[in-house]
Amino acid sequence: MKRILVAYKDLLSIIFEKAPFMVILTFLCTIISGLIWPVNVYVKQHIFDDGLAVARGDIYDSQYRHTYIYR
């Protein structure tokens, strides 16, 4: 494992010397990608739960479409 980490460190240092913007952009994209998944799960859960509420008759279809479009 240590050998792999050293190899990645060497690789990143070489890339950073030639194109520092690429290393920074890679880390930013990784962080943003990691933050998108929990939001995605929350939104899909909300859509599914509201769809079940419409099927049960707890809320109207127009309310479901309103929350689906504006959230």
Q: How many domains does the chain have?
A: 1
Find the domain containing 50 and state its range. 2-70
Q: Is the pLDDT of residue 67 over 70?
A: no
Would the pTM of this model clear 0.75, i.e. be above it?
no
Tens of pLDDT, residue by residue over 1-52, are 889 999 988 988 888 888 889 888 988 999 999 999 998 898 888 888 888 8
pLDDT of amino acid 58: 85
Residue 71 CB partners (closer than 8 Å, separation 6+):
43, 46
pLDDT of amino acid 50: 83
Angle, helices 20-56 vs 2-18, to 10°: value is 110
pLDDT of amino acid 32: 93
User: Which amino acid type is present at position 51?
Assistant: G
Residue 66 CB partners (closer than 8 Å, separation 6+):
none
